[in-house]
Structure 1
Amino acid sequence: MKAGKFIAGIISGAAIGAIAGILFAPKKGTETRKNITDKSNEYMYGAKNKYNDLADNLSHRYDSVKSKIRGKSRQVENSMDGDDKIIY
């Protein structure tokens, strides 16, 4: 029953908030929709930028690790100097 009351509270709170927002809205509906669209576009642009920054950061880290592994691999190859034995 606790979950049912919680969900009912969320739904009724959202309905009351929507009604209050409509009653006390200081702007016309067209202005409000334009503001919502503009803010949505700003958030999407910001989210895309953050995603691209994260992807670039991960790509650079991947390249760095890959080059370190290649360097270590070359060191191992050079240290073997033609010996086919690998000593652990």
Structure 2
Amino acid sequence: MKAGKILLGILSGAAAGAALGMLFAPKKGKETRKQIAEKSNEYMYDTKSKFNDLADNLSHKYDSVKSKVRGSSKKVQAKMDGDDKIIY
């Protein structure tokens, strides 16, 4: 999860910087608030999307490792039982 925290920190910093930049922009307050709301929604959507992609990627890697471990344990069990056949 370290990569997820780093990604979240970077995106949060970028969002805060964008919001501060818009607050100091020479536009009317109503326009600025609308722009801040739109950008924050955009950043939140992007952050959720990237976090979900990261979670899916980690889940696939976990499943892959779990499958390899199961295969290896079957091979070891077959050798311990003295079987020449290895079940996959």
Q: Do both share a fold (TM > 0.5)?
A: yes
Q: CA deviation at 1:28?
A: 1.7
Structure 1 partner of 2:73: 73
Any idea what the Cα deviations from partners look like across 1:5-50, whole Å, max 9, x if unmatched?
xxxxxxxxxxxx99xx2xx61x221111000000001111111111
State the partner residue of 1:40.
40
Q: Percent identity?
A: 66
Larger radius of gyration: 1
Aligned equivalents of 1:65 and 1:81: distance in 2?
A: 24
Q: Name the residue aligned to 1:49.
A: 49
- Aligned residue type for 1:59: S
Find the aligned partners of 1:69 and 1:52 in 2 and give their Cα distance.
26
Q: CA deviation at 1:82?
A: 4.9
Partner of 1:4: none
The TM-score normalised by the length of structure 2 is 0.62
Task: Measure, in 2, the Cα distance between the counterparts of 1:36 and 1:65.
Answer: 43
What TM-score, normalized by structure 1, do the two folds share? 0.62
User: How many residues in Structure 1 have an aligned counterpart in Structure 2?
Assistant: 62
Q: Which of structures 1 and 2 has the larger relative contact order (alpha carbons within 8 angstroms, sep 6+)?
A: 2
